[in-house]
Structure formats: structure tokens, C-alpha cells
Chains A and B, each alone.
Chain A
């Protein structure tokens, strides 16, 4: 099997992740080979050559107009004449490519085949995460192509099969930013939903349409007489050309019929007369004619193999070979006794030789496919003449594909056979592998083709359906309702344990999303007791959840123990994702205990685990990079920290739309430290947008809210911060809702965050000079932090206490608190935790210096303070925009607002600002929110009233 990489493992070139690779059918990347003899279409080739000056070439016409052949001919001529030769990436799309993970896998593989250097980093990324289509990733790809010395042509054939909006968006994004040396060619039966009018208007589009592609009278004559060797009169040629309207498939079929008739001119003329006189659907008429003139064995072969997407000799043998009952007899009957039954391979080669609508898919003549139109006609005939044979044919096709490890095709055929038993069994066997490759859409498509009652009757299927819905971020209620369907035989000991284990696992996942740590832990324990040893997929997931739960709970000892276990399991499974995530969390444990240097060592290990042998980082490396960013921020190397975070964001976006959330918090702190308030605001805003996007939990929204309050306090917006405290019920106020006190039972999701809220509140009190209230709050927080072993929080709280004591005039207490902070912070080398508190802490530190407390460390901190001061005076202060809004609009939002006011549509705005439509939408949402507007018009009117525009 060199041509088809059946097993997922066969993609394992140079140590790539074994379980993660999407199986790639290399036949889909094959540039179709040209027939020996064909009508060269110079006028069209000329237009395609000229089209290279433009971004997109669209070949849009119905089936049978020779789109693929024309492009194959063009590419051959391109590669012959262009210097340096043009590189070509070709993908023959099919229905399955609507799964963004699969589409990106094929896109990446095609580009890599065209040029080894392209898509490499991406290569690993998309195999792992299936998010090659993320914008940042596409930008990466564009940059890689832009530096190539040659032009690269990317051909997507049969683009009409793509219905996924995600993919259309990605192609639009790509088109908007196409470098000079990358050209996109789409062959399609219908115009794709891309911004074609705009591209037309700007001269970015070359179009070849039905009227261009149809054979002219000269081409028809050349085809019928030279290629097909028919030697027809000019009158006959015209008659055929008129009847078929230059439709190449029709002409070709007519020519094949004519070849089957006797070569006497009168017989031919009779056929032509009958054909041109008939009103019957051309193909119906012709395919019958063509088939009738084939030997019966070949007719049978054509009909029965028409159900196959791709044909090979062994595959055809297997679906025809073991005919059941009368099928076998008929097959034998049809053969003259003397002639041996031809094997499928020789039949395929024969079909190719006589030009019977078969297309070789490789150079070794192993794989073929029928011309799609012809396959449709054959299938229609098969369905009409032998409807009963269909299920058996599909079943055998399914079995063959299963044997070859081509599971997607095996499942498709089982579904087509309506052999639901078999389909369900195959889907269940492959669900874990499919989900691990992020091919969630593929799995959901399978489930969608099963009757709902079948899904409901299968607990395993139901369970993974719920799991997949969770993965694509569907609402909790959708997931929950699917879980309600999971019913299993509780009396059967073997199934009941497994299913109960799975349910516990998904419930643990749920609970953790809702920050209900206790329940999550409980469910995890249940799951690990119940799940079979062999279910590594779920088991490692559960251990991972457990470690997260232990962490959230503050049980560091236990947490780090389980994390080690997860890391080990992950490495054993060859699953870098789990291993890296676990190691990163070990590092964050260390950070919480103030051991920053140890954390750095661990994070660098994690980074190594997340880097493949060729030095390319996997998306999961983003977690390690965030950690390193936080560390270097704390050590006051702002530039290094910002670089780590930028790289982390880039990688995390490949992972998912919301994975980069964590990086924006430290990024905001860095920007604040650099005095770039506008950039800090942007980082915060981005984080809030991401939090809005993810619907599965409110936790991130609350975290973003905390960061926003920190930001407000840092900008001296005490009023804004107070409104937050009121809204949270932390202080009494007009918008306050009654909230239980600190030690009472609370909803888990807020209980987890409560300590952070209180630290912020204490900070707010200090800014307001309410020292006594601050101290009260800090006192109980200190106890809590110590109990939890949270050295990082203890340091922060002690610094704040020192400040509060100083405000209250109690210098002795202030020095005691600062003293503990210093001794806890020195081993880790903390800097920013002091620096961020500003000048008052510098004053305290000078006092500490005069008392001789930890002199070396204090001297270092004071040096950092004076550096910051001099940097600040050097920096040009950026004037804050004068806006009468509580939350001012960012520069980008102002731009969007002006364009809104100018009456532009979202796509037009996207175009104008060179951003994606979805980004425009999220800007609009944010603008509406800040202006408290309900519509576009409303927003514009309010903005005008406020004098913003």
C-alpha cells in the first residue's frame, strides 16, 4: 500500500504523532494525467495563462464541460514553459472535506507535496488540532509561500462539494491576502459563496464559464474526427454539436455510441438522425447506447462498480467476486465458456484504453475513478435495474475498506448499505481515533446519517455524541439532553460498569467547567474505578481532570502526584497533548508555591515535550509559553515575557478560537508595566471577547471581569471599580445583590474566585484610603492563603498589608508584613509583584533598606524601581482618548464605527480594514455593548449624540 495511506500510522513520517495523523489518500492529491490524445484548447489555455496575473481563476460550469481536463492540460503546459517551473498543489475535493480538520489536512499535504518547506510547522499543527484554518495559521502559510522563489498554483477541484462556511471563510481570508506568487484556481459546478463581485470589480478574478468551455464547431470536429477517429461529415458534426450544445460529455458519449455502430456512413447517419431527433435527456439516451454496445460482462462490471468512489482491481474483485445466489450464476452465464473471466484490473485498464469515462488516479494504474457524471448515470441504472443488489454491493465494499483500514469509506458504505448494525459497530470502534484527530465534524456527520432511535438505543454512540457536542462548544442543555438519552442495561455487569464510568467522566468534565471542584473530584474517582484499564483515552482524560480538580482545590500535594501520573500516561500513549498539559500544571503548582526557578525548569521540559524532533512546536506548547511569559514578567524582563506570550497566542489559536485566552491576562499586565495603556486595554478587550465566545462556562467571563477591574484600579478609575464591587455584591450599593459572607456556602463557581475578588476589593480599599477595612479583609485572606500553601498570594497580600499599615501610620506592622513578603519572595526572585504597587512600596523598601532587611534583594528591587522611573520619564505619554464613555472605544472600534456610520456592510468593512467578517462582527458587538445600542442605526445615532463621530 504505497498509494493509499490507510492506517493512521502510515503517515508517521519522521516521528510524527502516530495516533493523530489524518489518513491521507494520496490519490486525492494526484494531478490528473492527460489522455494521450485530446483536443488541445489553446484559446482557453491562453486565458488561463493570462489569469496568472490575477489572484483567483474560477472555472465554473456544470458537469461534463471538461474543467478538470482543461486544468490538467494547462498545468502540464505551465510546468513545461515557465522558468523557474511553477509549483502546483492539487486537491480533488469530496464531501468528506467539509470537515475543517480533513480539509486542512489535505490542503497541508498538497502544499507540502508541492514544496517540502511549506506547511511544515502547520503540518504538525493541523494533524494535532485540525485548526489549520485559523487565521493566524493561514497568515503563516502565506508568509511561507511569499518567500518562495517560484510561483505556486493551488488547485481545488470540485469546490462545489464544499458547503462548510468555515472553509469558505478561510478561502476568502486567503484570497484577501494572497501573495504575488500564490495563485488560487477553483474548479466548480456552481459559483462558490466567495466575494466574487468584489474580486471582479477589482480585477482579481479570471473566469471561465459554461459558454467558454463548450466545444466550438471546430473543436467538436477535431474531437469527433481526430480524437475519436469517426470521420464524420461536416453536416453530421454540426448536427451533433447543435444537439449537445457543445457539451463535451454529451459529445463524448455520442462518439462512443457511434464507435459501437457499424462504420458504414449510412448507419452512422441513422444514429445521428435518431439521436438529434430525440427529445430524450441526452445522457439517458446515450448511456443506454454506449452500454448496449459493451459486452455483457463489462456492462455488469460498470454498473456494479459505479457505487465506488475510487476503484482498484482488488476492490472491484472483492465486490464482484463473491456474488450471492443468482448473481454468481449470471456472471458465469454471461461469459462465453472458453474465455476466462477477466480480472478487474484488466477490465479497468481496458476501460481506460477505450476512453470510457475512467480517470486514473495515480501513475501506477492502481486507482481509478469514474467520471462523476458517468458514475451517477451508471448508479441510476443500477438502482433501476437491480435495486436488490445494492445493499450487498455496499456491504462488500464496506468489508473490503475495513480490511484495508480505510475506516471512513467502510463506514460510508455500511451506511449506504443501510446495514445500520454494521455501521454503528464501525463508528463505535473508530470514534475515539476520530475524535483524537479532531475530526468532530466527520463523526457528527456519521451520527447525523443514523436514525435518531438507533443513536438513542446505543449508549456508547450517545455518549460520544454528547462528548462531540461538548467539543464543538454546544450549549450545556444540548449536551445534557443527549446525555439524558444514554440508557444502558444496568443489570449487565460488564456494560453497566463501563457506561457508568463514562458517564462519570463526562460529568466530571461538566462539573469542572462549572468550577464545582468537589463534584468533579468525586466523579473522577468514580470514573477511574469503573472505566476498564484498556480505555486509555478516557482514563488519561479523567486523571487529567482529577489533577485540575486537585489544583483548584488547593490540594497541591495530591495534585502534583496525579499530575505526574498523567504525564507518564500521556507519554506512554504517545499523546503529547496530555503529557505537556500535565507537566505545565506541575509548573504552575511550583509557581503557586513561590518556586519560580523550579517552575522554569519544568516549563522548559514541557516545551521540549511539545517540540517535535525537527524543532517545530506543537500547539499545546502554548501552555508552556504562557507559563514562561508569566515567569519572565515576574522577573521584570518585559520584552522576553511579551515574546513568549506572542508565540503562545499564535500557537493557541491553531488549537481553538478560545485557547489563547490565558495569554491575554499577563499580556495586559506587561502592557501596563510598559506604560502602554491602549495596548493593555486591547489585550483586556480581546480576552473579554474570547470569554464571550465560549459558551460552555462563565468562569472565563468572571476572570476577564476581575482583570478589567484590576485595569480600572490601575487607571485610577475608582468609581468604575466600585461599580464592579457593588455588582458582585462585595460592598453594599444601589446595584448590589445580597451575597453570603466569606465563610458561608457559596456557588462553587464563585467560591473558587472569591479570594481573588477579595484581594481586588482590598486593593480598592487601599486606593480609597480605607485602611482598616482593607486590613480586615486581608487578615482573613492571609489565613486562607497560608492554609492553601499559596506562597504567591501570601506575598501579594503581605505587600498590601504593609501598604495598608503604612496608610494607617503603623510602620512597625508595615515592616513586619513587608519582611515576610521579602523573605518569601527572595528565593523565587520576584520583582514585578513589588514594582506593580508603585511608589508607596518603593518608600517601604527604602525604609527596609535602612533597617538592613534582606539587603541584597532589597537593593535589587530598588534598582528596578529607579530603572522604571527613568524609563517612564523617557517614554512619551500617550494622551488618553477623550471619550465620554465609561469604557472608551478602542482605536479599531472607532474605525469600525466610522465605517458603520458611512453605511458600509460588514463584508465591506472587513474588506476596508483587511480583517475577517467575524472580527467585524465581534467589533460591532463590542461597540453596541459600550454604547448600549441595540442596532447599527442606534449605535451610529448614539455615537453622534456623544460627539464620537
Chain B
């Protein structure tokens, strides 16, 4: 079990809702900027296909939709979309 991901430079102090989006496959952190600064980290569980988790603040529902469209445009398979408490501070989700 491992988790990788960079801290996002900004955005976490906004009172935006924090979202966690999971897609099938492994994306490296180089994609972070492409997804509007969402933290990109992938997790491997032995025997399971890898899963990439994008976590971070999303300004509003329109921004969320834009994010999902970007994933869709790359033909990434969506596993889950989840809203985490908008605590204003970063949360780490590890399996």
C-alpha cells in the first residue's frame, strides 16, 4: 500500500467543497495541473487493478462537471465521485 501526491499550492483555504474522484488506471502526478491543481495520487492493491484518486477543492458544480468531462475526454473509467467535508483543510484518503 502506497500513496503518492503533492501538496496543492493553493486553493485549500477556500471554503470550497472538497471532492475525491477515483478513476481506473494509474496517472502520475504530472497530471495535477491538467486537472486544475487537484492532487493526483494512485494506489495499488495487490491483485487489484490500480486506482487513481484526484482530491481537492472544486469551486462549484460547473467546475466539477468540467473536471469529469476532462477525465471522460481521456477515456478514463470513472469509479467514484465523493464529496468530503468542506473543512477548509486538506484531507488525505488512503486505503
Measured between beta carbons, the chain B residues less than 8 angstroms from A373 are: 73-75
Q: Give the distance in Å from the alpha carbon of A380 to the alpha carbon of B74 in the complex.
A: 11
- CB-CB contacts of A362-400 with B at 8 A, as 1s and 0s? 000000000011001100100110010000000000000
Q: Give the distance in Å from the alpha carbon of A380 to the alpha carbon of B49 in the complex.
A: 24
Max chain B C-beta neighbours (<10 A), residue from A247, A279, A281 = A281
Q: What is the CB-to-nearest-CB distance from A307 to chain B, in angstroms, rounded to a whole number?
A: 14
Interface residue from A190, A283, A284 paired with B28 (Cβ < 8 Å): A284
- Are B75 and A63 interface neighbours, CB within 8 A? yes
Measured between beta carbons, the chain A residues less than 8 angstroms from B28 are: 280, 284
- Are A63 and B73 interface neighbours, CB within 8 A? yes
Measured between beta carbons, the chain A residues less than 8 angstroms from B25 are: 279-282
- Are B75 and A64 interface neighbours, CB within 8 A? yes
Q: Check: A249 CB closer than 8 A to any chain B CB.
A: yes
Interface residue from B33, B44, B52, B75 paired with A384 (Cβ < 8 Å): B33
**Chain B residue nearest in CB terms to A280:** B26
* A253-308 interface with B by 8 A CB criterion: 279-284
Measured between beta carbons, the chain A residues less than 8 angstroms from B30 are: 380, 384
Q: What is the CB-to-nearest-CB distance from A318 to chain B, in angstroms, rounded to a whole number?
A: 26
Q: Check: A189 CB closer than 8 A to any chain B CB.
A: yes
Q: What is the CB-to-nearest-CB distance from A724 to chain B, in angstroms, rounded to a whole number?
A: 46
- Are B72 and A62 interface neighbours, CB within 8 A? yes
Measured between beta carbons, the chain A residues less than 8 angstroms from B34 are: 380, 383-384
**Chain A residue nearest in CB terms to B73:** A63
**Chain A residue nearest in CB terms to B50:** A279
Q: Give the distance in Å from the alpha carbon of A51 to the alpha carbon of B33 in the complex.
A: 42
- Are B33 and A383 interface neighbours, CB within 8 A? yes
- CB-CB contacts of B4-18 with A at 8 A, as 1s and 0s? 000000000000000
- Are B73 and A376 interface neighbours, CB within 8 A? yes
Q: Check: B64 CB closer than 8 A to any chain A CB.
A: no
Measured between beta carbons, the chain B residues less than 8 angstroms from A190 are: 72
Q: Give the distance in Å from the alpha carbon of A687 to the alpha carbon of B31 in the complex.
A: 56
Q: Give the distance in Å from the alpha carbon of A21 to the alpha carbon of B26 in the complex.
A: 48
- Are A281 and B76 interface neighbours, CB within 8 A? yes
Q: Give the distance in Å from the alpha carbon of A457 to the alpha carbon of B28 in the complex.
A: 41
**Chain B residue nearest in CB terms to A377:** B74
- Are B74 and A63 interface neighbours, CB within 8 A? yes
**Chain B residue nearest in CB terms to A385:** B30
Q: Give the distance in Å from the alpha carbon of A63 to the alpha carbon of B73 in the complex.
A: 6
- CB-CB contacts of B52-81 with A at 8 A, as 1s and 0s? 100000000000000000001111100000
Q: Give the distance in Å from the alpha carbon of A671 to the alpha carbon of B30 in the complex.
A: 71
Measured between beta carbons, the chain B residues less than 8 angstroms from A376 are: 73-74
Assuming A279-B49, A280-B25, is B73 touching A380 (CB within 8 A)? no
Q: Give the distance in Å from the alpha carbon of A223 to the alpha carbon of B4 in the complex.
A: 38
Assuming A62-B75, A190-B72, A247-B75, is B33 touching A281 (CB within 8 A)? no
- Are B44 and A279 interface neighbours, CB within 8 A? yes
**Chain B residue nearest in CB terms to A65:** B75
Q: Give the distance in Å from the alpha carbon of A283 to the alpha carbon of B49 in the complex.
A: 17
- Are A281 and B27 interface neighbours, CB within 8 A? yes
The dominant DSSP class at the B interface is loop
Q: Give the distance in Å from the alpha carbon of A658 to the alpha carbon of B77 in the complex.
A: 46
Measured between beta carbons, the chain B residues less than 8 angstroms from A372 are: 73
Measured between beta carbons, the chain B residues less than 8 angstroms from A280 are: 25-26, 28
Q: Give the distance in Å from the alpha carbon of A372 to the alpha carbon of B73 in the complex.
A: 9
Measured between beta carbons, the chain B residues less than 8 angstroms from A247 are: 75
- Are A281 and B26 interface neighbours, CB within 8 A? yes
- Sorting the interface of chain A by its residue count into under 10, 10 to 19, 20 to 34 or 35 or more gives 20 to 34
**Chain A residue nearest in CB terms to B62:** A163
Measured between beta carbons, the chain B residues less than 8 angstroms from A189 are: 72-73
Q: What is the CB-to-nearest-CB distance from A189 to chain B, in angstroms, rounded to a whole number?
A: 7
**Chain A residue nearest in CB terms to B52:** A281
* A673-728 interface with B by 8 A CB criterion: none
**Chain A residue nearest in CB terms to B70:** A376
Measured between beta carbons, the chain B residues less than 8 angstroms from A387 are: 33
Q: What is the CB-to-nearest-CB distance from A404 to chain B, in angstroms, rounded to a whole number?
A: 28
* B21-53 interface with A by 8 A CB criterion: 25-28, 30-31, 33-34, 44, 49-50, 52
Max chain B C-beta neighbours (<10 A), residue from A62, A372, A373 = A62
Max chain A C-beta neighbours (<10 A), residue from B27, B31, B73, B74 = B74
- CB-CB contacts of A236-255 with B at 8 A, as 1s and 0s? 00000000000101000000
**Chain A residue nearest in CB terms to B51:** A279
Measured between beta carbons, the chain B residues less than 8 angstroms from A62 are: 72-73, 75
Q: Give the distance in Å from the alpha carbon of A189 to the alpha carbon of B72 in the complex.
A: 8
Q: What is the CB-to-nearest-CB distance from A814 to chain B, in angstroms, rounded to a whole number?
A: 70
Q: What is the CB-to-nearest-CB distance from B12 to chain A, in angstroms, rounded to a whole number?
A: 21
Q: Give the distance in Å from the alpha carbon of A279 to the alpha carbon of B28 in the complex.
A: 11
Measured between beta carbons, the chain A residues less than 8 angstroms from B74 are: 63, 281, 283, 373, 376-377
**Chain B residue nearest in CB terms to A387:** B33
Q: Give the distance in Å from the alpha carbon of A189 to the alpha carbon of B71 in the complex.
A: 12
- CB-CB contacts of A177-217 with B at 8 A, as 1s and 0s? 00000000000011000000000000000000000000000
Interface residue from B31, B52, B72 paired with A380 (Cβ < 8 Å): B31
Q: Give the distance in Å from the alpha carbon of A384 to the alpha carbon of B6 in the complex.
A: 14
Q: Give the distance in Å from the alpha carbon of A890 to the alpha carbon of B26 in the complex.
A: 62
Q: What is the CB-to-nearest-CB distance from B77 to chain A, in angstroms, rounded to a whole number?
A: 10
Measured between beta carbons, the chain B residues less than 8 angstroms from A377 are: 74
Q: What is the CB-to-nearest-CB distance from A134 to chain B, in angstroms, rounded to a whole number?
A: 28
**Chain B residue nearest in CB terms to A62:** B75
Q: What is the CB-to-nearest-CB distance from A211 to chain B, in angstroms, rounded to a whole number?
A: 14
Measured between beta carbons, the chain A residues less than 8 angstroms from B76 are: 281
Measured between beta carbons, the chain A residues less than 8 angstroms from B50 are: 279
Q: What is the CB-to-nearest-CB distance from A631 to chain B, in angstroms, rounded to a whole number?
A: 52
Q: Give the distance in Å from the alpha carbon of A189 to the alpha carbon of B76 in the complex.
A: 13
Q: Give the distance in Å from the alpha carbon of A372 to the alpha carbon of B69 in the complex.
A: 13
Measured between beta carbons, the chain A residues less than 8 angstroms from B49 are: 279
Q: Give the distance in Å from the alpha carbon of A279 to the alpha carbon of B26 in the complex.
A: 6
Q: What is the CB-to-nearest-CB distance from B72 to chain A, in angstroms, rounded to a whole number?
A: 6
Q: Give the distance in Å from the alpha carbon of A373 to the alpha carbon of B74 in the complex.
A: 7
Q: What is the CB-to-nearest-CB distance from A572 to chain B, in angstroms, rounded to a whole number?
A: 45
Measured between beta carbons, the chain A residues less than 8 angstroms from B73 are: 62-63, 189, 372-373, 376
**Chain A residue nearest in CB terms to B25:** A281
Q: What is the CB-to-nearest-CB distance from A858 to chain B, in angstroms, rounded to a whole number?
A: 71
**Chain A residue nearest in CB terms to B27:** A281
Q: Give the distance in Å from the alpha carbon of A247 to the alpha carbon of B25 in the complex.
A: 15
Max chain A C-beta neighbours (<10 A), residue from B27, B31, B33, B75 = B75
Measured between beta carbons, the chain B residues less than 8 angstroms from A279 are: 25-26, 44, 49-50
Measured between beta carbons, the chain B residues less than 8 angstroms from A281 are: 25-27, 52, 74, 76
**Chain B residue nearest in CB terms to A285:** B26
**Chain A residue nearest in CB terms to B76:** A281
**Chain B residue nearest in CB terms to A249:** B75
Which residues on B are within 8 Å of A, measured CB to CB? 25-28, 30-31, 33-34, 44, 49-50, 52, 72-76
Nearest first, the 6 closest Cβ-Cβ pairs linking A and B are: A62-B75, A279-B50, A380-B34, A279-B26, A384-B30, A281-B25
8 residue pairs A–B, Cβ–Cβ below 8 Å = A63-B75, A64-B75, A189-B73, A283-B75, A372-B73, A373-B74, A380-B30, A380-B31
Known: A279-B49, A373-B73, A384-B33. 5 other contacts (CB 8 A): A62-B72, A284-B27, A372-B73, A376-B73, A384-B30
